[in-house]
Amino acid sequence: MSLIDADDVLESGIDIIAQPPGKRLQNVLLLSGGEKAMAALALVLGIFHYRPSPFCLLDEVDAPLDEANVGRFVDKVREMAESTQFIVITHNKRTMEMARALYGVTMEEAGVSKLVSVKFD
């Protein structure tokens, strides 16, 4: 990470350079959707690892990931859940499998939504 305009640090943007395994060092904007998601997750989870917070809300961050990277994501969240409570909004079945509780909305009859919750021990 580096400042785009080092002379004006309060208004400067941040340039993020990433190097996924097997690729050359490049600007994060040149990466694929999954690689961008992994770079962003690495940054966010790195910050949480350095400075833990009581909870973290993640919304559909696993959507652009392939199965191998979903596994890596799930493993990291499970590891970090010892010190941080994660609230993950997802449609990914593999991500849901690691949850201690699931909350969802179903529509058994047209126009009538119903909340459903399941807790695992």
Residues 61-79: tens digit of each pLDDT: 999 999 999 999 999 999 9
pLDDT attached to residue 14: 85
Alpha carbon distances (Å) from 84 to 1, 5, 79, 92: 25, 34, 10, 21
Does residue 87 surpass a pLDDT of 80?
A: yes
* Residue numbers of the domain that contains 76: 32-119
Residue 31 — φ and ψ, nearest 5°? -85, 165
What pLDDT does 113 receive? Answer: 94
CATH number of the domain that residue 100 is part of: 3.40.50.300
Residues 57/61/66/72 CA torsion (nearest 10 deg): -30
3-class state of residue 5 by DSSP: coil
Examine residue 65 and state whether it is found in any structural domain, yes or no.
Answer: yes
| Distance, CA of 74 to CA of 17 (rounded, Å) | 24
Greater pLDDT, 117 or 25: 117
Number of structural domains, the chain? 1
